[in-house]
Structure 1
Amino acid sequence: MPADPSLDRLANATLLVPFESYEAPPWLLDGLADGIAGVCLFHNNIRGPEQVAELTAVLAAAADDPLVSLDEEGGDVTRIGQRQGSDYPGNAALGAVDDPVLTRAVHTALGAELRALGCTLDLAPAVDVNTAADNPVIGTRSFGADAALVARHAGAAVTGLQDAGVAACAKHFPGHGATRQDSHTELPTVDADLDLLHRRELLPFRAAVGAGVRTILTAHLRLPAYGQEGPATLAPRILTGLLREEMGFTGVVISDALEMTGVSADIGIPEAAVRALAAGCDLLCLGRYTYADTIAAVRAAIVDAVRDGRLDGERLEQAAARTADLRAWTSGRPVPPRPDGIGLEVARRAVRVAGDLPPLRDPVVTEIDAPPGMAVGDVPWGLAPWFPGTERVDPATARPGDVLARASGRDLVLVVRDAHRFAEARALVTAVCAARPDTVVVEMGLPEWRPECRAHVSTYGAARVNGQSAAELLGSIGATSVL
């Protein structure tokens, strides 16, 4: 059957594509000219502010208002802070402070920075209610475990980003916070009845819709309460019935990355793309490692599905129209001024201390390593920038005696990240604290576990500003009252 340029262009209008370099390759520029909706930037596209601004200018010149998106949540999940850590403290710290006005201001500042770099769509905020303490993929990305708290900050974050002219994206619909599996590697299940889902998971998304969020990103997870065995991304009852018809969302529905195991492991990315569009997605995020050949295969699969009658042509036209409206919304919006230092201000307010924190003189700082989640990637964390000589140890091989010997005659600080999730880290910290009860422990993840120690410091995140706030506390104050 001969090619149909108009159908190819409609298919392109549903694609949010990655690429592999600091410069836009020719195939991408040609694709944008042929109607590809936009790009998603990852760590491998970002070297520094000047390079990003030059890149996005080239992308913008290739087509009329292409979407330039990225996962910039602030906190642990950062693209613009990949090399040094984020200047924004992240959602858990914002939830700990619990000042929605400040949350809005932080996201306006973040949006202003993104807009100045040429980015128009931020795949944030995460509005999942993190009720599973051992959740491997959400954690500090969430504002908290209370649905009402998450809802009020969801609305504030959406408003802040969009005040800055950046389209916000509430994720991961219908809520990834109650899972104990990572949809990057498997298909998780949210085991909750309909009443609980509406009271908990869906409440923040209703707040985001009420705040006028332009986009919502789906989750690759199973919801038995809706009689659904496959991922929500491919479920018309979830995306069309629940999100569109029941909740009244009229913006763009974006799929989470289609290369993830939770959605495409058994059917492949092109077939997942067709099913996601049929279910109600308008814009397909293809993932970090899906490049030209696979993108061509996805486009061909969409076109073939329309020709075969598996995908309704009107559904494809509807998706393309919605992405066009989103691109038009982002066009030409002014960049507001960006306040300096607001991220550090929030990080300082978020720090909590349990116990008595003594004045520390020349402390020995030892970081207990923890694997990064797939959404986080290899982003620097810890206190090493402020404490020269800091050592990082592997909890699987480190011996308590070696840690203690290194700190002989000096104050000792142990730094952990989500220690509640890693038994070997807890065992090492417990052994060291038993021998040195005066140890200070700094938790840079969620403070779900506290060892017996003199003082326990919680930063509610591992961004650079979270680390700086802890370093200032350890280096500049004396006795601190219990919070």
Structure 2
Amino acid sequence: MSGDLYRLALTVLHPGFEGTSAPDWLRRALGEGLGGVVLFARNAAGVPLVRQLRAENPGVIVAIDEEGGTVTRLEVAAGSSFPGNRALGVVDDVRLTEQVGRQIGRMLAELDITLDYAPSADVNANPANPVIGVRSFGPEPELVARHTVAFVEGVQGAGVAACAKHFPGHGDTVTDSHLALPTVHASRELLAERDLPPFRAAIGAGVRSIMSGHLLVPALDPSMPATLSRTAMTELLRGELGFDGMLVTDAIEMRAVAAMFTPGEIAVRALNAGVDALCVGLTTEDGLLAMRDAIVAAVREGVLPEERLAEAAARVRALSAWYAGRSELREKARADVDEGVGLRAARAALTTTGTGRLDRAPLVVEVNTRFSQAVDPATPTGITAALAALLPDTGRVQLEPGGELPAFGERPVVLVVHDAARHAWVRDTVARALLLRPDAIIVDTGIPAPPPEATHVATHGLSRVSAQAAAEWMLR
């Protein structure tokens, strides 16, 4: 048996941490072989932080969720410079999607970040989906497949690894896996026709990583979430689809799996299923060491074959080596700046009905729906800020569920809603507002309901540039 089990175990653990600098325990773990680190908005990721991490382990995989649109970690304060997947799918220009992916890759290359946990390759087949929605390119597998490929090629063409998620597909769910275990009620045939084509296409395009979804898919495994299922991870993804890159879990503290097992047991079960890296969104020194020790104990007790752990660690190192060998691509990408591509895409994605426009500063009523758990709480809709930049006297009111509409007065009214298709109370609020002010402009930043008989603007996602494009259109 290997004398270096502890290093192998650390190689497959990829934790997140609190703070804007690397804590001492994380630095020690990196020096002892920790294979990866995940960054979030709370870390205020920048070059100094990444240099801190690489000073302890030059080959560490530094990962981040930078999807563009709704999910951004680097631009959370003002909103992303790029529209998200749904907006790109609405435009349906794969060259534009590749350009957006390349600019996101360029942004990560400037920070020396190894891996982007993007794109979402989920087919949003269920409009009631609470966690994917506008993070998907759309509801059609062929559309999602071609834009998944374009995004992967854009990011990886900039020398940064991409990660297609959430295998085998989180699109047909009505439960957020951050909160509970979703079930995908689909036959093997439907999975093959609807959910798997984007992942198959990503593999064909050479995607370096795939992220598992914490999903119960009875057609594959009636007892275990896909992340912990050898049928899903090894037999299907490795065997049938032929993926040989690094397979990483979604964050293992998500309730879909955390409600079932301890972090250490999740790690062992996932590795046995065929996973290579464990994403741990937030942990402590004690938590990290407990997971490491659980993996080592499983090998020593014969529960986890050492060959399987060694194979997983080798795939982590292979991704690190791939990144190290792409320095010339990153240098070229850093010089290939296209600051306008995000706004061009956002403008092209706008779907509008009606002829209303603003000729003076409005009152913006933000009809607040809760974004999914994947979205950083600080992420703004951006519409009010975009309008205020053009019309400085713009007013703002936030309306919570069950809240009363404000007195509108004589000012123009803009109602900003999100995912009206999913929320009856939002549609009722819009209807009540239009009875009082038929001239109100409705802006939906999510999956829209059919437009009411009023001026309606659908941005198909949250981002700074989507908000700017909508504001420009209202002032046209």
The 1-side partners of 2:49 and 2:292 are apart by 25
Is 1:350 aligned with 2:353?
Answer: no
Q: Quick check: 1:253–1:283 contact (8 Å CA) kept in 2?
A: yes
For 1:13, the aligned partner's letter is T
The 2-side partners of 1:202 and 1:360 are apart by 48
- Number of residue pairs aligned between Structure 1 and Structure 2: 464
Residue 365 of structure 1 and its aligned partner are, at CA, apart by 2.0
Q: What does the per-residue CA deviation read over 1:93-129, in whole Å, with 9 as the maximum and x for residues that have no partner?
A: 1001000111011100110111101211000000100
Matches within 5 A, 1:11-410: 11-46=9-44, 52-287=46-281, 289-331=282-324, 333-334=327-328, 335=330, 336=333, 337-358=336-357, 360-378=359-377, 379-388=379-388, 389-400=394-405, 402=406, 405-406=407-408, 408-410=409-411
Residue 427 of structure 1 and its aligned partner are, at CA, apart by 1.6
Residue 453 of structure 1 and its aligned partner are, at CA, apart by 3.4
Residue in structure 1 matched with residue 470 of structure 2 by the alignment: 470
For 2:457, the aligned partner's letter is V
Extract unaligned runs of 5+ from structure 1: 478-483
CA, structure 1 residues 292+5, in 2 after alignment: closer, same or farther (shift >3 Å)? farther
Q: What does the per-residue CA deviation read over 1:49-92, in whole Å, with 9 as the maximum and x for residues that have no partner?
A: xxx11110121121132111011101000000111110011101
Residue 338 of structure 1 and its aligned partner are, at CA, apart by 2.4
Q: What does the per-residue CA deviation read over 1:254-283, in whole Å, with 9 as the maximum and x for residues that have no partner?
A: 011111111121211110000000000001
For 1:224, the aligned partner's letter is P
Residue 355 of structure 1 and its aligned partner are, at CA, apart by 2.5
The 1-side partners of 2:258 and 2:401 are apart by 33
Q: Quick check: 1:46–1:80 contact (8 Å CA) kept in 2?
A: yes
Residue 359 of structure 1 and its aligned partner are, at CA, apart by 5.2
Residue in structure 2 matched with residue 480 of structure 1 by the alignment: none
Once the two structures are aligned, what percentage of the paired residues are identical?
Answer: 45
The 2-side partners of 1:387 and 1:197 are apart by 43
Q: Quick check: 2:79–2:382 contact (8 Å CA) kept in 1?
A: no
Q: Quick check: 2:459–2:467 contact (8 Å CA) kept in 1?
A: yes
When structure 1 is superposed on structure 2, of 340-349 and 429-438 the one drifting more is: 429-438
Q: Any idea what SS the aligned residue of 1:217 has?
A: strand
For 1:380, the aligned partner's letter is P
Q: Quick check: 2:365–2:415 contact (8 Å CA) kept in 1?
A: yes
Residue 190 of structure 1 and its aligned partner are, at CA, apart by 0.6
For 1:256, the aligned partner's letter is D
Q: Quick check: 2:121–2:164 contact (8 Å CA) kept in 1?
A: yes
The 1-side partners of 2:288 and 2:57 are apart by 18
Residue 327 of structure 1 and its aligned partner are, at CA, apart by 0.5
Residue in structure 2 matched with residue 481 of structure 1 by the alignment: none
Q: TM-score of the superposition, structure 1-length normalised?
A: 0.93
Q: What does the per-residue CA deviation read over 1:378-420, in whole Å, with 9 as the maximum and x for residues that have no partner?
A: 21113121333332322434323x2xx32x3332211111122
For 1:157, the aligned partner's letter is F
Q: Quick check: 2:161–2:207 contact (8 Å CA) kept in 1?
A: yes
For 2:384, the aligned partner's letter is A
Residue in structure 1 matched with residue 425 of structure 2 by the alignment: 424
Extract unaligned runs of 5+ from structure 2: 389-393
Residue 194 of structure 1 and its aligned partner are, at CA, apart by 1.0
Q: Quick check: 2:65–2:72 contact (8 Å CA) kept in 1?
A: yes
Q: Quick check: 2:221–2:229 contact (8 Å CA) kept in 1?
A: no
The 2-side partners of 1:139 and 1:399 are apart by 27
Residue in structure 1 matched with residue 391 of structure 2 by the alignment: none
Two-structure CA RMSD over aligned residues (Å): 1.5
Q: Any idea what SS the aligned residue of 1:145 has?
A: coil
The 1-side partners of 2:248 and 2:346 are apart by 31
Q: Quick check: 2:78–2:382 contact (8 Å CA) kept in 1?
A: no
The 2-side partners of 1:171 and 1:93 are apart by 18
